[in-house]
Chains A and B, each alone.
Chain A
């Protein structure tokens, strides 16, 4: 082996290491570790946490819709889900929310969607909202006791909403990340690769500073989720949900709802 210069030594070392690696016996087919399942479980990794971050903002909006729905309707439409808007606390006159939504008030559409959506995305969301409205129209004649539904579900949804409100900071952090020039550049590269039919760039190419920010965000989110999961408040909610499952009134409500669902 030549040792004329440091670079020669490093180059030769690289060659030797790669040659030895080529001589490595890998063994036949690669079995999964015996205690791993044949099919991997659904991803519960930080992907899940990131996905949770993605959905927390939406959930905030969704729970607002749910609470409003359970409380007898209001001005909140399904578009609130897509907008992840602030919670609606105003109480509207009692009415069958399904009939309310289906009776010509299911107007979620272009004017209520976020303004910066592309035409394609707008059309896609609109199509989904139209489908939702169509389904709701089939539920309009449903004889569901909304007062009972409110009594059963409303307080739970209210508590859930207040718990999710603790994750409000995520939205701001995600906004900051989305505005990061490094992320924008990465997205450009990703789109270019996908558009040209190539494999998307690996995460290894992500700017380390950006990755650190993302990791910090997921770490904080993970910690907060864990704390929430272990909190007495969350455990109490879970117990109440279990109790709700056993409640004959809830079972009756579900049975009614099943009958009303479009087939």
Chain B
């Protein structure tokens, strides 16, 4: 341990008291400002929003809103990527709720144009309940663990596990 600290002291240009010295890499890692985070993660966030909402048209709007909220809560965002993901999940839940209400009163919008090989599964995914769809996207696109899915969705681990399992089961039944 002492060798690690000694090497770290050589790497850190500013002398700092003993315990905080070990945290310097994290402070530096975290020091990326909002603009850096935004430019780095914006495209990925739009893609995720597309998958979560099912609409490319609405994805940019959701991503912008997610980053706007992130900016307002920048003080609390220890991990901006995870934080914006959580915001996005909530925004998508709201979007799905609104769309469900709209769907009862408005004609269905035309389905998005995608390559034929993607179309079937993509359409099936859109028929899942929003929660199952979100759980599957977070698990299989973002490659999050079940625990991380639960954290992003604000539910229990068991609930997330169940949503993933039932989502997969629904897809399997539709495909057979």
Give, as a whole number of angstroms, the nearest-CB distance from B155 to chain A. Answer: 18
Chain B residues lying within 8 Å of A18, measured Cβ to Cβ, are 141
A27 contacts the other chain (CB 8 A): yes
Which B residues have a C-beta under 8 Å from some C-beta of A?
1-2, 4-13, 15-31, 33-36, 38-39, 42-43, 46-48, 50-51, 56, 59-60, 64, 67-68, 71, 74-79, 81, 114-115, 118, 120-122, 125, 136-137, 140-141, 168, 171-172, 175-176
Q: CA A16 – CA B17 in complex, angstroms?
A: 51
Measured in the bound complex, the distance between the Cα atoms of B115 and A112 in whole Å is: 71
Provided the pairs A203-B26, A203-B29 are in contact, do residues A17 and B56 lie with their beta carbons within 8 angstroms? no
List chain B residues, Cβ under 8 A from A48. 75
User: Does A104 sit at the interface, judged by CB under 8 A?
Assistant: no
Q: Which residues of A contact B114 (CB under 8 A)?
A: 20, 23
Q: How far is the CA of A46 from the CA of B140 in the complex (A)?
A: 30
Question: Which of B4, B7, B25 counts the most chain A CB atoms within 10 A?
Answer: B25
Pick 19 A–B contacts, CB within 8 A, sort by A: A3-B172, A17-B137, A21-B47, A21-B141, A30-B42, A32-B38, A45-B75, A45-B78, A47-B30, A54-B23, A58-B17, A61-B17, A174-B19, A174-B23, A179-B1, A190-B25, A202-B29, A203-B29, A218-B78
A-B residue pair count with CB separations less than 8 angstroms: 205
Complex: how many Å from CA A28 to CA B75? 29
Q: Does A13 contact B (CB under 8 A)?
A: yes
Alpha-carbon distance A186/B4, docked complex (angstroms) = 10
A191, B7: Cβ atoms under 8 Å? yes
Contacts A178-B21, A204-B81 known; A214 to B26 CB distance under 8 Å?
A: yes
- Is A9's CB under 8 angstroms from B168's CB? yes
* Contact of B38 with A175 in the complex, beta carbons under 8 Å: no
CB distance from A27 to the nearest CB of B (A): 5
CB pair B4 A187 closer than 8 Å: yes
Q: Which residues of the partner chain B approach A128 to less than 8 Å between Cβ atoms? A: 15
Query: For the complex, is A259 an interface residue (Cβ under 8 Å from B)?
Result: no
- A contact residues, total (Cβ < 8 Å): 76
Whether A118 lies near B4 (C-beta < 8 A) is no
**Does A236 lie at the interface of the complex (its beta carbon under 8 Å from any beta carbon of B)?**
no
Q: A27-B46, A178-B22 are in contact. Are A45 and B76 (CB under 8 A)?
A: yes
A interface residue numbers (CB < 8 A to B):
1, 3, 6, 9-10, 12-14, 16-21, 23-27, 30, 32-33, 35-36, 39-48, 50-51, 53-55, 57-58, 61, 82-84, 114, 116-118, 120-121, 124-125, 128, 171, 174-175, 177-179, 183-184, 186-188, 190-191, 194, 200, 202-204, 206, 214-215, 218
A43-B31, A118-B10 are contacts. A20–B17 as well, Cβ < 8 Å? Answer: no
Distance in angstroms between the alpha carbons of A194 and B1 in the assembled complex: 18
Q: Are A53 and B20 in contact (CB under 8 A)?
A: yes
